[in-house]
Amino acid sequence: MLVEQQVLEYDMYLFHQGNLRHSYQLLGAHVDKQDGKNGVRFVLWAPNAVQVSVVGMFNDWNGNKHPMEKINDNGLWYVFIPDLESGTIYKYEILTRHGHLVLKADPYAFSSELRPNTASVVYPLDQYTWKDKEWMERRSKVNFYESPISIYELHLGSWKNIREEEYYTYRDYADMVIPYVKELGYTHIELLPLTEHPYDRSWGYQATGYYSVTSRYGSPDDFRYFVDQCHQNGIGIILDWVPGHFCKDAHGLRRFDGEALYEYENPSKAEKSMWGTLSFDFSRNEVQSFLISNAIYWLKEYHLDGLRVDAVASMLYLDYCKESGEWEPNEFGGRENLEAVSFIKKLNESIFEEIPDVLMMAEESTSWPLVSAPTYIGGLGFNYKWNMGWMNDMLRYMEMDPIHRKYHHKLITFSLFYAFSENFVLPISHDEVVHGKKSLLNKMPGDYWQKFANLRVFLGYMFTHPGKKLLFMGTEFAQFDEWKDLEDLDWELFDFDSHVQTSNYVKQLHQFYKDSPALWELDHKQDGFEWIDANNYEQSIISFIRNSRSSTDQLVIVCNFTPVVYHQYKVGVPKAGTYKEIFSSDAKHFGGSGQTNGMQLESISTPWHSQDQHIEITVPPLAISVLKRTSLPKEERLHEK
């Protein structure tokens, strides 16, 4: 007992220092046994409370029956209630300094009632038996920087549902989603936030239960089953995680014990009026323990393979989406939130010390430097940064009528000036296909055929451009309507040839991507990319080389962003020999016009595009062609004979 008491005191010390990385094991509700009696142990942090009780149906919601004891001067409260068990519904009744009684859900609850109910649910973490040992061992040996990564962004409830606001379970989705994503060829699924949230249409981005997987789709163990099945089928799982803000619902974190506790006291720092939410107080040690533990909780307890951290820019900048007079500069007169910067670095350092083989991806929309660089050289410490600049430029370009594209040619080439300054993910996420922005297909100009051709060339350029890939669900079969978050995807489009052909195109594009080391092995190094011709704005054609460590894997890529066909088009190539077109988005089985290069192409020993050799090809309309050297030049072959 003395040892246990010392461990408890040390954990409490670390919690108040901001260094308890597993604070969910100390705080919250835990099935336990004390003095020979089974029950539940409750620990809560509420330093400003006058009195705290645990209430629920088990005591008729009567705060007089199970008061908690304050066990230290920093506001930790404790009670053990015998005879309670897993499944118990509870809340904390808190008497504030102002004499008000408030009912709060447990910030550390592992499960919550189904909305609109808001109570917490006792749920043990040790009931599930994992079967993904092979995946976890293999993951620890993978160098993902030099591996293919293609992410399917998924919102479970609107992928497929029974009816509006009535969903399948995590286990049902495992049976439906995993075979589908596996057949498409994605390496990972990224789930929109699954932390418990009161309002469906926040999509999980405004949470109340940071440790509760949403009960909309079942229990915590049901979600574990989903992750486990993904791993057994070779698919990684990334969760969208939101440490930047939380919602103001009365049962949540806002003024938890009657005072600003999890949020800043200063309204200019606390309020995020753009979303109607509150920012966490990143300077507070206990909040750091809460958030860092939360990230580690999802990664360890649910075997997740990574977190995509939402809205990082809103954390980094004090003036994010605020007008003059709505924010206060930092101590040096700048607009950086120095506390948030320190927290983010500490977060990533803690995670990689605990779980070094996971992904930490930042949705960071500004030019903040070294987002994906290690903290020891001044970086924020993420593995990856979303390339929002590439996304904005490319979507702006693709929405133009091709006749105007030559005047905006730099939109498709500018990204290569900075492509290797960070480890980038190229994202086409849910944010780009909702709220009147139209679906990716419907952004494309032209007639029916041209829309699909534009989509194919866009995806082809995306998959051959340096950086890992992310596409939102529905893009893979060219959904016409933008994302409807209360309905499921338009699966009936599979009755139409163009959508089936697009789905087949995405499958084969993935297979080609994974089979081509030149498209990922040197993804984050300048050596992996070389322009052949970046300047043909008149015809809106670009050509470039992708390299791997092996010269035999080298690819020559030509993209035409107009509906014009060009015959005998000269393309500079780096080496003499015979070239073969190994992938074309204009193939008829993808719905293209069939202007492909079926013949072998012998290089011509005349310099072109600053290359020693060139070939002459047919450049198909609104399409990408990928060529590869398949043999030595004729004279070298004859000499060898």
Q: What is the mean pLDDT of residues 273-287?
A: 96
402 vs 418: CA distance, rounded Å:
25
Name the CATH superfamily housing domain 2-121.
Immunoglobulins (2.60.40.10)
CATH architecture of 147-516: Alpha-Beta Barrel (3.20)
Q: Say whether 237 sits in a helix, a strand or coil.
A: strand
Spatial neighbors of 215 by CB under 8 A, at least 6 apart, are 111, 112, 113, 114, 115, 121, 196
The active-site residue, picked from 310, 482, 521, 523, is 310
- 480-492 pLDDT, tens per residue? 999 999 999 999 9
580 confidence band (pLDDT: 50, 70, 90): very high
Average pLDDT over every residue of 459-478: 98
- Whole-model pTM: value is 0.96
Asked about 354 being catalytic, the answer comes back as: no
* Statement: residue 641 has pLDDT above 90: no
The H or E element spanning position 239 is strand 236-241
**pLDDT reported for residue 110:** 98
User: Is the pLDDT score of 2 beyond 50?
Assistant: no
Short-list 35, 33, 40, 43, CA closest to 8: 43
Confidence (pLDDT) at 465: 98
Per-residue pLDDT of 159-171, as tens digits, reads 999 988 789 999 9
The DSSP call for residue 517 is G
Strand 468-472, strand 424-428: pairing = parallel
Dist. CA 429–CA 192, nearest whole Å: 10
Does the pLDDT at position 127 exceed 60? yes
What per-residue confidence (pLDDT) applies to 4? Answer: 63
Give the CA count within 13 Å in the CB-facing half-sphere of 98.
8
Q: Where are the beta strands (DSSP E) in 56-130?
A: 69-70, 76-82, 89-95, 101-104, 111-112, 120-121
With beta carbons less than 8 A apart as the criterion, state whether 570 and 558 touch.
Answer: no
Is the separation of the CB atoms in 51 and 98 below 8 Å?
no
Start-end ranges of CATH 3.20.20.80 in the chain?
A: 147-516
- The residues, ordered by sequence, that sit 6+ positions from 4 with a Cβ below 8 Å of its Cβ are none
Q: What is the pLDDT of residue 277?
A: 97
Residue 6 has pLDDT above 80, yes or no: no
pLDDT above 60 for 501: yes
Beta-sheet strands, E only, within 282-395: 306-309, 359-362, 384-386
Tens digit of each residue's pLDDT (9 = 90 or more) over 219-250: 999 999 999 999 999 999 999 999 999 999 99
Residue ranges matching CATH 2.60.40.1180 in the chain: 526-640
- Looking at CATH, the fold of the domain delimited by 526-640 is given as Immunoglobulin-like (2.60.40)
CA dihedral defined by 608, 614, 618, 623, rounded to 10 degrees? Answer: -70
**Share above pLDDT 70 across residues of the chain, in percent, rounded to a whole number:** 98
Q: How far is CA 575 from CA 43, 599, 640, in A?
A: 69, 18, 17
Exposed e or buried b per residue across 119-148, where buried means at least 16 C-beta atoms within 10 angstroms of its C-beta:
bbbbbbbeebeeebeebeeebeeeebbbeb
Instruction: Give long-range contacts, CB 8 A cutoff, 24+ apart: 154-157.
Output: 154/181, 154/189, 154/190, 154/191, 154/192, 154/473, 155/191, 155/192, 155/203, 155/430, 155/473, 155/483, 155/485, 156/191, 156/192, 156/194, 156/217, 157/200, 157/216, 157/217, 157/485
Secondary structure (DSSP) of 466-516: SSEEEEETTGGGT-SSPP-TTS---GGGGGSHHHHHHHHHHHHHHHHHHH-
Q: How confident is the model at residue 125 (pLDDT cuts 50, 70, 90)?
A: very high
The DSSP bridge partners found for residue 425 are: 386, 468
Residue reference for tokens 């690819």: 555
Q: What is the pLDDT of residue 126?
A: 93
pLDDT in tens, 581-605: 999 999 999 999 999 999 899 999 9
Given the residues 363, 364, 432, 581, the one annotated as active site: 363
| φ, ψ at 33 (rounded to 5°) | -140, 125
In the chain, list all ranges with CATH 2.60.40.10: 2-121
224: helix, strand or coil: helix
Sign of CA dihedral 154, 157, 162, 167: positive
Question: Residues 12-49: pLDDT tens digits?
Answer: 999 999 999 999 999 999 999 999 999 999 999 999 99
DSSP state of 235: -
Query: For residue 292, which of 236, 352, 337 has the smallest C-alpha distance?
Result: 352
Nearest CA to 281 out of 267, 293, 295, 294 is that of 267
Question: For 201-207, which contacts have Cβ atoms below 8 Å and span 24 or more sequence positions?
Answer: 201/485, 201/486, 202/247, 203/155, 203/430, 203/485, 204/240, 204/242, 205/240, 205/242, 205/275, 205/310, 206/242, 206/245, 206/246, 206/247, 206/275, 206/277, 207/242, 207/246, 207/247, 207/252
Q: What is the pLDDT of residue 8?
A: 84
Q: What is the mean pLDDT of residues 323-328?
A: 92
Spell out the residues 6+ positions from residue 309 whose beta carbon is closer than 8 angstroms to its own: 241, 242, 243, 244, 360, 361, 362, 363, 382
Of the chain, the end-to-end C-alpha distance in Å amounts to 84
Any catalytic annotation for residue 249?
no
